Structure 1
Amino acid sequence: MSSARVVVLTVLSMVAFAANSLLCRVALRGTGIDAVTFTSIRIVSGAVVLSLVVWGQGRRVRHAGNWLSALALFVYAAGFSFAYLSLPASTGALLLFAAVQATMIGYGIHIGERLSGLQWIGFVCALAGLVGLLLPGLSAPPPGGAALMLAAGIAWGVYSLRGKGAKNPTMETAGNFMRAVPFAAALSAIAHMHAALDWPGLAYAIASGAVTSGIGYALWYATLPQLKVANAATVQLSVPVIAAIGATVFLGESLTPRILLASAAILGGVAVVVLKRQRSASIEKT
């Protein structure tokens, strides 16, 4: 794969991931769809597209994935949707990123990974940025929405940890999306009395599932083998930034001093921890 193609696919993947926040927020704020229906349509659409991608590779999804990972995927998707009933897109994307990274870094510490002094400073800086974002005040995010997004981020962190080392991540993701469909169906059945849907909401939900989730993951997993580990970690730092820019341009959201300072602390702190870790791993291999 040429370097230019790698760059293009990487950029498209990051834009797709950031666009999930924008699509969900605009759908739940500006259309008639409810959070449960949005979640279910997103999961089903993602399952269909990823299954088609895997089928096009000459493989079958039937036995791919596992139920625990599918449950984590469903919890992420549901928490994500309900959080965006009240959160701005930029704040939600930052909270999600912080929770995912905190979960993965925390797990590493739990299993015995050692952080250097500089990494501990980065980790504390990121946590301080998260606390600063959540402290009460006029520009603080709604506590309920923030808690739901943090739960979604933890679930996605668990999902990512369970998927590390997968031989065919696209097929595994397709299988997990398929297995998440019954969970989404059960939630829809429980909440059917409050279900609401219109054509714009349906379009946004399908776009979120089929394009920014399904195709986005397929592009990312196709590009990932071409990237160095440190580069892959670095580019993911761009997702909250892209989401914030998109929310400002397309949704008219304003970037408050609180979110700007929190973004700098969280993204900078995580960058120090992750990139230092990858550099150390590279040195150990040589």
Structure 2
Amino acid sequence: MSNVQVFLSTLLAMIAFAGNSLLCRLAFQGTGIDAASFTGMRLLSGALVLWLLVARGGSWWPAWALFLYAAAFSFAYLSLDTGTGALLLFGAVQVTMIGAGLWRGERLNRWQSLGLGCAFAGLVGLLLPGVSAPPFAGAVIMLTGGVAWGVYSLRGRGVADATRTTAGNFLRAVPLGLGLFFACLPWVRLDATGLWYAVLSGTLTSGLGYAVWYRALGGLNATQAATVQLSVPMLAALGGILWLSEPLTLRFLLASVAVLGGVALVILRRG
């Protein structure tokens, strides 16, 4: 892949990831759907749209990681606010992916270290002022989801066919999601609008978004792939400003410059 293709694929994937946060927040704040139903419908609809595009692929380890991430993401946001959840999730992703990269021999140069520190400081600067001590159970669940997403991303590096592999992973994750749904049947609360948000999350921002992400991973090392995901909370916050009437503040603008500038340093300063 050319640098332009890597950039465009990564950008589309980050927008999709931010869309997942917005749709999940809309579903749980504005409808009565429960976390298990949202997770099951998200995985099922993602698998269906990908099945229409390709036949089969993927493997069970990434499918388990995908399911664990999706379930943890939904259940954690029942007790965590958006900023706390994003900080925990992407902090865990950072530790998992950068730790794996360093274990495999990747090293950060001076500029990349500066960029990583700048990006993380910007994210903390945006989120910490509104973050109270999170519920312990919700925090553990979200950290588990972050580790699972880090593993899922690491498994996607170097796949030959991103769409086919993502489709296979989703198809394998569907019975896991349905098993979770039936296990939680006594507490299930179905809601038409909430199910629609789950379908949008599954088809567009998860199914197709993750296929694009697997394609982008072919041009990123583990450290770059971890760091670029720090932009997702920023994009989600921007979506909240545009579609949920959340205020545009100077703090948000300064944090955006820090995070996106730091991400650019990590990706562009390879030598």
TM-score, normalised relative to structure 1: 0.75
CA contact (8 A) 1:21 1:92 kept: no
Aligned residues of 1:22 and 1:89 also touching (Cα < 8 A): no
1:34 aligns with 2:41: no
**Considering only aligned residues, what root-mean-square deviation do their CA atoms show, in Å?**
3.7
User: Kindly tell me: are residues 98 and 174 of structure 1, through their superposed partners in 2, closer, same or farther at Cα, counting changes over 3 Å?
Assistant: same
Q: Structure 1's 90 and 131: CA in aligned 2 closer, same or farther, altered over 3 A?
A: closer
Report deviation, 1:19. 1.0
Aligned length: 266
| 2: CA distance, partners of 1:235 / 1:119 | 12
* 1:25 counterpart residue number: 25
> Shift of the alpha carbon at 1:189?
2.1
2:177 corresponds to 1:190: no
Measure, in 1, the Cα distance between the counterparts of 2:187 and 2:250. Answer: 37
| Residue from 210, 215, 222 that aligns with 2:208 | 215
Amino acid at match of 1:38: F
Question: Which shows bigger deviation, 206-215 or 238-247?
Answer: 238-247
- Give the number of the structure whose alpha-carbon radius of gyration is greater: 1
The amino acid that maps onto 1:171 is: R
Deviation, 1:217, is 3.3
Which moved further from structure 2: 87-96 or 11-20?
87-96
In 2, Cα distance between equivalents of 1:274 and 1:8: 13
Q: Distance in 2 between matches of 1:116 and 1:12?
A: 27
Q: Normalized against structure 2, the TM-score is what?
A: 0.79
Answer yes or no: is 1:76 the counterpart of 2:106: no
Cα distance in 1 for residues equivalent to 2:231 and 2:207: 19
Q: Out of 154, 168, 174, which is 1:181 matched to? A: 174
* Contact 2:231–2:263 (Cα < 8 Å) also in 1: no
**2:109 and 2:170 mapped to 1: Cα distance?**
37
Specify the SS of the correspondent of 1:115.
coil
**Rounded Cα–Cα distance in structure 1 between residues aligned with 2:119 and 2:235:** 19
Please say if residues 129 and 262 of structure 1, whose CA atoms lie closer than 8 Å, have aligned partners that are also in contact: yes
- Which residue number in structure 2 is paired with residue 15 of structure 1? 15
2:53 maps to 1:53 = yes
Cα pair distance change 1:148/1:10, threshold 3 Å: same
- Cα distance, 1:12 vs structure 2: 5.0
The answer on whether the counterparts of 1:90 and 1:244 sit within 8 Å (CA) in structure 2 is no
Question: What residue number does 1:167 align with?
Answer: 160
Are 1:251 and 2:244 counterparts?
yes
CA displacement 1:50-91 (0-9 Å, x = unmatched): 11111xxxxx21xx2221111110111011112222444455
Structure 2 unmatched runs, 5+: none
From 140, 147, 163, the counterpart of 2:132: 140
- Deviation at residue 178 of structure 1 after TM alignment: 0.9
Cα distance in 2 for partners of 1:42, 1:76 equals: 12
* 1:269–1:107 Cα change, 3 Å: farther
The counterpart of 2:99, out of the listed 73, 84, 106, is: 106
* Mapped contact 2:9–2:213 kept (Cα < 8 A): yes
Distance (Å, rounded) in 1 between the aligned partners of 2:245 and 2:75: 21
Check 1:95–1:274 CA distance in 2 against 1; reply closer, same or farther (3 A cut). farther
* SS of residue paired to 1:167: coil
Matched AA of 2:163: T
Letter in 2 for 1:39: T
Instruction: Name which of structure 1's ranges 255-264 and 70-79 shifts more when overlaid on structure 2.
Output: 255-264
Deviations 1:187-207 (A, max 9, x none): 122211101111111111111
Say if 1:15 and 1:132 are closer, same or farther in 2 by CA, change over 3 A.
closer
Q: 1:219 to 1:110 in 2, by over 3 A?
A: closer
SS in 2 for 1:77: helix
Q: Is the 1:69–1:159 Cα contact (8 Å) retained in structure 2?
A: yes
Matched-pair contact (CA < 8 Å) for 1:98–1:266:
no
Letter in 2 for 1:116: N
Q: Among residues 147, 150, 172, which one is paired with 1:154 in the alignment?
A: 147
Is the Cα contact below 8 Å between 1:43 and 1:181 reproduced in 2?
A: yes
